[in-house]
């Protein structure tokens, strides 16, 4: 009977570990998806910024408030991405 009890405890521990790893993986995957979404939004801003700069240089040869706002958005996205990557590292430790 002791052998059965030992087997049951090991099976329970294995199951518990598997559940923990699954939850960790799901959490990490969710954060990675958030990163991809933020990177996509950031890339949209990069494209808009590039398009704006192109027209600005072509038409006016000057810089305006929109350029500053777009640059600030890119900086904000970069900050969010770094925070989420740090969160992933914390989960994987």
Is 2 a member of any domain? Answer: no
**Confidence grade of residue 65 (pLDDT, cut at 50, 70, 90):** confident
39 in a structural domain: yes
Q: State the residue for tokens 């900050």.
A: 79
Residue with tokens 């990490």: 28
Q: What is the pTM assigned to this prediction?
A: 0.58
Mean pLDDT of 55-63: 67
CA atoms within 13 A on the CB side of 52: 16
Q: Is residue 6 included in any domain, yes or no?
A: no
pLDDT tens profile 17-41: 777 778 777 888 888 999 999 999 9
Tell me if 51 is assigned to some domain: yes
């Amino acid at each position: 009977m002791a052998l059965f009890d030992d087997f049951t405890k090991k099976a329970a521990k294995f199951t518990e570990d598997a559940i923990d790893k699954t939850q960790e993986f799901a959490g990490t995957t969710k954060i990675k998806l958030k990163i991809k979404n933020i990177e996509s939004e950031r890339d949209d801003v990069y494209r808009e910024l590039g398009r704006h700069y192109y027209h600005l240089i072509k038409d006016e040869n000057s810089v305006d408030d929109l350029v500053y706002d777009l640059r600030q958005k890119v900086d904000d996205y970069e900050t969010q991405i770094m925070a989420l990557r740090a969160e992933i590292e914390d989960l994987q430790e």
